[in-house]
Amino acid sequence: MSTLSILPYFPFKRIRITKQDVVSDSGISQLTALPDKRYIPVCYKCGNKSEHIHRHEKRLIRDLNLGSFRVWINCSYRKIACKPCNRIVVEDLDFFETYSRVTRRLALCIHELCKVMTVTDVAKHFEINWKTVKAIDKYFLEKEYGKTDYQNLRILAVDEISIKKGQKYLVVVLDYLSGRVVWVGKERTKETLGSFFAGMTQEQRDSLEAIAMDMWDPYIHATKKHVPHVKIVFDLFHVVSSFGKVIDKVRNAEYKKASKEDKEVIKGSKYLLLKNRRNIRKKKHREHLKRLLSLNEPINILLILKDKLKQIWNYNSRTWARKALEEWCLLARTINHSAVNKFTKTLQRYSYGILNHCDYCIHTSKLEGVNNKIKVIKRKAYGFHDTRYFSLKIIQAFTN
Ligand SMILES: [Zn+2]
């Protein structure tokens, strides 16, 4: 008889493995386990010992694979009367959770693998339903990240990520200094961001200094309502990109007015106008731009405005930044186009958030890296059918 034993592979304290059945063709190994009588049963909820056994039950629990075998433990356990809990409860056998059909160590292993593998791949590896895999991973994530960690926050960046083209958004709040994703919420509304701030203690709110964001009214309102002392800093990239849309509108208007000959020049110029001038290298393109500018003054001014707009974010002095902004608005008005005027008004209305950049040189572009990584998570998290799960995965991936 062999003296080899499989018992060291199952170092579970409160049970005794009494039998092993291996059906070699099926790749399944089934163990039978009984509660170790040397231990008095304890309540899974409060840990209280109780010798009042109510009844015996059995459960098949999946464990880690052993070699190429899938291991199932057919475990007997007891239901006991717990006095402090004042009810019949499942005894705690210390190797599985009462509501679970897998051992604790398998659950942990699944959770770890889900950090680097897709839910489906983990499910395939263990031959477990993907829904079970996801539920296990979500359970641990909820435990670790379910409660927002508001500690040590001074400077934030908020932005949305689109999770379904142009339809569904998640709002992501980033700790600017550490790069940690602090919070993820559904929909880019005032209430959503408001609920983030609402979870903070007064002390935590007081320690906040600045927040980078897009000129998006719901975010602005939520910030002003909950943390009025916090300096809002508008993001350069967002402003420049919305000015790009203005340029487009003017170009279209000029195209309609133009003669047939000039139309040829304006046609196909969108790309040239939106591009950074220094990046236009091809001679053909440079000449196209030159002709365009020589025949159309508003477009010429718009391009100057585009360059000057970015420069406003370069100042460290509020006085100089304000001066540059005023000059910008003056020049913009000379075009006298409704879209440009509207944009100018917006800039003036939100000038405080542009000037604040002099004190806090922060941008939401820090979230771009987050966005790229999120695309990877999206695949791992099996699409985005479960927004909560997806949000927790994002927070997990950006915890330092
Ligand atoms: Zn109890």
The pLDDT, as a whole number, for residue 208 is 97
Count structural domains, the chain: 3
Residues 229 and 371 in one domain: yes
The set of residues, in sequence order, having a beta carbon less than 8 Å from that of 53 and lying 6+ positions away, is 41, 78, 79, 80
Q: What is the pTM of this model?
A: 0.81
Helix (H) or strand (E) holding 186: strand 181-186
In angstroms and rounded to an integer, the radius of gyration of the C-alpha atoms of the chain is: 31
Residues 256 and 291 in one domain: yes
The pLDDT, as a whole number, for residue 2 is 67
Residues 332 and 384 in one domain: no
pLDDT per residue as tens digits for the range 57-88:
999 999 999 988 999 999 999 999 999 999 99
Query: How far does the centroid of ligand 1 lie from the alpha carbon of residue 84, in Å?
Result: 5
Residues 321 and 256 in one domain: yes
Query: How far does the centroid of ligand 1 lie from the alpha carbon of residue 85, in Å?
Result: 4
Mean pLDDT of the chain, nearest integer: 89
Residues 87 and 159 in one domain: no
CA gap 24, 176 in Å, rounded: 56
> With contact defined as beta carbons under 8 Å apart, do 113 and 76 qualify?
no
Domain containing 346: what range? 236-358
CATH of the domain at 162: 3.30.420.10
Residue 148 within any structural domain of the chain: no
Residue 109 within any structural domain of the chain: no
> With contact defined as beta carbons under 8 Å apart, do 265 and 292 qualify?
yes
Residues 63 and 201 in one domain: no
The pLDDT, as a whole number, for residue 20 is 92
Query: How far does the centroid of ligand 1 lie from the alpha carbon of residue 31, in Å?
Result: 29
Residues 28 and 61 in one domain: yes
The pLDDT, as a whole number, for residue 384 is 55
Residues 240 and 352 in one domain: yes
- Nearest alpha carbon to residue 215 among 158, 175, 176: 158
Phi and psi angles of residue 335, each rounded to the nearest 5 degrees, phi first:
-75, -35
Query: How far does the centroid of ligand 1 lie from the alpha carbon of residue 143, in Å?
Result: 21
Ion ligand 1 neighbours, Cβ < 5 Å = 43, 45-46, 48, 82, 84-85
Residues 240 and 227 in one domain: no
CA gap 164, 187 in Å, rounded: 12
Residue 122 within any structural domain of the chain: no
Residue 110 within any structural domain of the chain: no
Residues 26 and 47 in one domain: yes
Query: How far does the centroid of ligand 1 lie from the alpha carbon of residue 36, in Å?
Result: 20
The pLDDT, as a whole number, for residue 382 is 59
The pLDDT, as a whole number, for residue 140 is 95
The pLDDT, as a whole number, for residue 400 is 64
The pLDDT, as a whole number, for residue 165 is 67
Residue numbers of the chain with a pLDDT score lower than 50: none
